[in-house]
Amino acid sequence: IHFCWVPSHIGIHGNEEADRAAGACVNRTIEIHTLPVTDYRITLRNKIKDSWQVEWDSDPHNKLHRVKPVLSEWRSARHRERFYEVILCRLRIGHTHLTHGYLLRNDDPPMCDYCSETLSVLHILLVCPQFNNERRPYFSIFFRKQIPFHLALLLGDEPVTPYRQVFNLLEKINILH
């Protein structure tokens, strides 16, 4: 890197006007306009939400992300009966006594008796062929309209079928007690 001194722009018409304007500003008072705190709050809240969303999207092991890809308040979390709200929450996070009770017992993960797959909420509600016939009446809209099964369409904020149908299926296959 070479440094060299370049003489000023004396004698160049536009630069001399710029120098005069800059010199005139030296003695001027500066007016500072402050924003109301509420404007900062809105911006800060949005930045925090954006940051949370990036973190939410970046976790590959987040089971709840399948059900709720965009962070927001659960509009559906307003059941009159706490029992069903708890069941719905556990299904959404994928942690039920049946699928994760082994952790408390220091045991191996439970396997499906029918197809020898690891038991999970996804497996029970959507995948296991053992429950195909039981699923059909409760999730008939999926079959009628040929909608692909997805947990977000069963457990998300805007389910294709009412949550009650999920609870009814779980009762039918003797999983919900």
Instruction: Express each pLDDT in 37-52 by its tens digit.
Output: 888 898 899 999 999 9
Number of compact structural domains in the chain:
1
Rounded distance between C-alpha atoms, residue 155 and residue 21, angstroms: 65
pLDDT at 120: 92
Burial of 89 (0-12, 13-18, 19+ CB in 10 A): middle
Place of tokens 């809240």: 45
Is residue 149 one of the residues assigned to a domain?
yes
Is residue 59 one of the residues assigned to a domain?
no
Is residue 152 one of the residues assigned to a domain?
yes
- How is 101-145 classified by DSSP, letter by letter? HHHHHT-PPPB-TTT-PBP-HHIIIII-GGGHHHHHHHTHHHHHT
Instruction: Express each pLDDT in 104-132 by its tens digit.
Output: 899 999 999 999 999 999 999 999 999 99
Is residue 84 one of the residues assigned to a domain?
yes
Residue 29 confidence (pLDDT) above 70:
yes
Look up the domain containing 93 and give its range: 75-172
Q: What is the mean pLDDT of residues 10-30?
A: 73
Is residue 20 one of the residues assigned to a domain?
no
Is residue 89 one of the residues assigned to a domain?
yes
Is residue 21 one of the residues assigned to a domain?
no
pLDDT at 36: 83
Q: Categorize the per-residue pLDDT at 133 as very low, low, confident or very high, splitting at 50, 70 and 90.
A: very high
